[in-house]
Amino acid sequence: MSISKKEIESSVKDKELIEIRRKEIVNAAVDLFVRKGFHRTTIREIAQKFGMSVGTLYEYIRTKEDILILVCDYINSTVRMRVKPSVEITKDSAQSLINAIEIYYRIIDELQDYIIFLYQETKSLSHENRKYIFKSEEDMTAIFEDILKHGVEQKSFKIEEKNILLTAHNIMVQGQMWAFRRWALQKNYTLERYIETQSKSILEQITTH
């Protein structure tokens, strides 16, 4: 699951302690990163925020980028952990899709600051770690792909085989734009209306008439 956690070395031996301290680090860093951005946040601030010395902080990470990886990983797995168990593929494909969309869009609304941060700071990661974030995004997309495929098999949806992937991406992006374009959308629509309208129009375009 979390590739990165295994890869970040630490000079501390106690595995459990590493887990605990890293959670503290992430908790402190996530807030600061989201508020001030990665580059503008200093190691000293992070350490201070949960009352640890800079030296100790460096016992649990190697570089500042490690913290960014931990934070991105945390955001990603939070989203996935909350979407995945709630989504279910039932016989009623249309309803499955509507449910999945609602769950995903609500989480985006709740974590909008985190989502925006994730997308804007991905570029600060090394190539290796950026790939990992993309992989994670593809996993999320696969959830919607599966629902769509199932619906096509059931003949509830009518989508060309090759366009299923694209439709899944559209669904995801139309959710994420609620965060990205909040300066325009959130003053014109409520979340409820947004979810309803978007899912209706997505369904419209894939349902067999």
Partner DNA sequence: AGTAACGCTGAACGAGCGTTCAGTTAATTA
Partner DNA sequence: TAATTAACTGAACGCTCGTTCAGCGTTACT
* Interface contacts to its own copies, rule CB under 8 A: 37, 39, 116, 119-120, 122-124, 134, 137-138, 141, 163, 165-167, 169-170, 173-174, 177, 180-181, 183-185, 188-189, 194, 197-198, 201, 204-205, 209
Residue 68's identity, in one-letter code, is: L
Q: Coil, strand or helix: which one is 124?
A: helix
Closer residue to its own copies in complex, CB, 53/163: 163
* Of 21, 22, 106, 149, the one binding DNA by CB under 7 A: 21
Residue 134 binds which entry of DNA, its own copies, none, with Cβ cut-offs from 5 to 8 Å by kind? its own copies
Could you count the other beta carbons within 10 Å of the beta carbon of residue 5?
Answer: 15
* Of 43, 177, 185, 191, the one binding DNA by CB under 7 A: 43
Contact 206, 157 (CB under 8 A): yes
Closer residue to DNA in complex, CB, 62/158: 62
Task: Report the alpha-carbon distance of residue 195 to residue 107 in Å, rounded.
Answer: 12
**How far from 142 is each of 1, 3, 36, CA to CA, in Å?**
15, 19, 32
Of 109, 133, 121, the closest CA to residue 35 belongs to 121
What DSSP element (H or E) covers 21?
Answer: helix 15-36
Task: Report the alpha-carbon distance of residue 209 to residue 205 in Å, rounded.
Answer: 9
Smallest distance from the beta carbon of 78 to DNA, in angstroms? 24
Task: Report the alpha-carbon distance of residue 24 to residue 47 in Å, rounded.
Answer: 9
Residue 139 binds which entry of DNA, its own copies, none, with Cβ cut-offs from 5 to 8 Å by kind? none
Closer residue to its own copies in complex, CB, 11/134: 134
Could you count the other beta carbons within 10 Å of the beta carbon of residue 133?
Answer: 20
> Segment near DNA (CB under 7 A), from 46-54, 77-85, 121-129, 164-172?
46-54
Q: What is the CA radius of gyration of the chain?
A: 20
Closer residue to DNA in complex, CB, 42/208: 42
Q: Quick check: 63 binds DNA (CB under 7 A)?
A: yes
Q: Quick check: 40 binds DNA (CB under 7 A)?
A: yes
Q: Which stretches of the chain bind DNA, using CB under 7 A?
A: 11-14, 17, 21, 40-44, 52-56, 58-59, 62-64
